[in-house]
């Protein structure tokens, strides 16, 4: 498959879940993988370019991460080829194409700018233990708000477990791209897809004006319409629609607990508003314990098997 995955790396061993996720995805789809390391400007405020030693250190770091990514991708590819061989199909999978890039500046800004060159941008986010600290996940939230492509945020403690794909639906047009992305992922994984629409049945601001049942009915229609769209894309897919009586972010995160991937859409805001991801997306990224794909309304990567 001819598309590119960009993954941010910092060289910390405990922060390699995002690299593993990206390498496995590249091996699965035959995509190009690009490892990016940002030299934070705070290390060298006096110049427009990083010092020579910082640049050499960054290149050394990337070389080590490339070896790790290549090994993980080969392990995933060999496992898939072995499974195909057991079914009577002999498959030869080439090594993935891996490139590197060193950037200099403020991490969030540089990653967001670089995202224009990728179809997917993969980032790590704090582990569950790290989330008690102030400003946890702030970089991922900022980048997801302004990136030009779909962003996948992978918690540092993610171990590649779970089953099924979950997608949040709210009835807006931005849901369409998210549902399509989630349906493609679920179909490739051979796992079920759950469409969830969460919200409060009784809205205190509308008390006395909108019957409570009409709000519940609307959520059910939103979830079922999105589920039908997923079934139309992949008739073989097992798709369920669910509604949850709680705040949208809390409901989506709870539904995704134990899944392989959570998918949400994002409104294509313009101007100053685009600096904000939105309260639901913001809270989901801060609290989800599973990888989260924030899908832009720009035509997303068609997650279909690569032609061999």
**Average pLDDT of the chain to the nearest whole number:** 84
- Ranges of each domain in the chain: 4-155, 165-295
Residue 51 has pLDDT above 90, yes or no: no
Whether the domain at 4-155 and the domain at 165-295 fall into the same CATH topology: yes
301, 38, 112, 174: CA torsion to nearest 10: 50
Distance of alpha carbon 223 from alpha carbon 178, whole angstroms? 13
263, 267, 271, 277: CA torsion to nearest 10: -40
In this prediction, residues 198-224 reach a mean pLDDT of 67
Q: What is the pLDDT of residues 10-19, one digit of tens each?
A: 999 999 999 9
Query: Looking at per-residue confidence, does 84 or 155 come out higher?
Result: 155
Residue 280's alpha-carbon distances to 122, 189, 264, 276, in angstroms, are 20, 26, 9, 11
165-295, CATH topology level: Rossmann fold (3.40.50)
CATH superfamily membership of 4-155: HUPs (3.40.50.620)
Q: What is the pLDDT of residues 294-304, one digit of tens each?
A: 998 754 454 44
Residue 288's alpha-carbon distances to 76, 137, 152, 262, in angstroms, are 25, 11, 12, 8
Distance of alpha carbon 81 from alpha carbon 98, whole angstroms? 20
Q: Which pLDDT value is given to residue 276?
A: 46
Q: Look up the pTM and report it.
A: 0.85
Cβ partners under 8 Å of residue 187, min gap 6: 233, 234, 236, 237
Cβ partners under 8 Å of residue 149, min gap 6: 115, 116, 118, 119, 120, 121, 296, 298
Other C-beta atoms closer than 10 Å to the C-beta of 68 total: 16
Q: What is the pLDDT of residues 193-206, one digit of tens each?
A: 999 998 865 555 55
Q: Which residues pair with 100 in a beta bridge?
A: 35
Nearest to 264 by CA among 179, 194, 189: 179
Element (H, E) at 101: strand 98-105
Distance of alpha carbon 305 from alpha carbon 30, whole angstroms? 8
């Amino acid at each position: 498959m001819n598309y590119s995955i960009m993954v941010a790396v910092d060289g910390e061993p405990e922060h390699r879940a995002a690299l593993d996720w990206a390498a496995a995805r590249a091996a699965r789809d035959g995509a190009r993988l690009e490892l990016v390391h940002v030299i934070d400007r705070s290390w060298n405020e006096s110049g427009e370019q990083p010092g020579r030693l910082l640049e050499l250190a960054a290149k050394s770091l990337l070389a080590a991460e490339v070896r790790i990514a290549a090994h993980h991708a080969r392990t995933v590819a060999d496992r898939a080829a072995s499974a195909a061989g057991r079914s009577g199909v002999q498959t030869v999978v080439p090594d993935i194409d891996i490139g590197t890039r060193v950037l200099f500046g403020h991490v969030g800004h540089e990653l967001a700018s670089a995202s224009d060159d990728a179809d997917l941008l993969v980032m790590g986010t704090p582990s569950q233990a790290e989330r008690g600290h102030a400003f946890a996940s702030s970089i991922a939230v900022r980048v997801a708000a302004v990136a030009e492509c779909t962003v996948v945020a992978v918690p540092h403690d993610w171990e590649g477990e779970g089953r099924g794909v979950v997608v949040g639906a709210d009835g807006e047009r931005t849901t369409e791209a998210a549902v399509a992305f989630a349906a493609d992922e679920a179909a490739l994984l051979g796992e079920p897809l759950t469409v969830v629409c969460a919200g409060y049945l009784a809205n205190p601001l509308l008390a006395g004006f909108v019957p409570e049942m009409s709000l519940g009915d609307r959520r059910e229609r939103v979830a079922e319409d999105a589920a039908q769209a997923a079934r139309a894309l992949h008739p073989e897919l097992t798709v369920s629609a669910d509604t949850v009586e709680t705040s949208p972010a809390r409901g989506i995160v709870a539904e995704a607990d134990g899944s392989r991937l959570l998918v949400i859409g994002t409104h294509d805001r313009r101007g100053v508003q685009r600096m904000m991801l939105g309260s639901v997306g913001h809270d989901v990224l801060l609290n989800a314990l599973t990888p989260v794909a924030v899908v832009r309304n720009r035509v997303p990567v068609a997650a279909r098997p690569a032609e061999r």
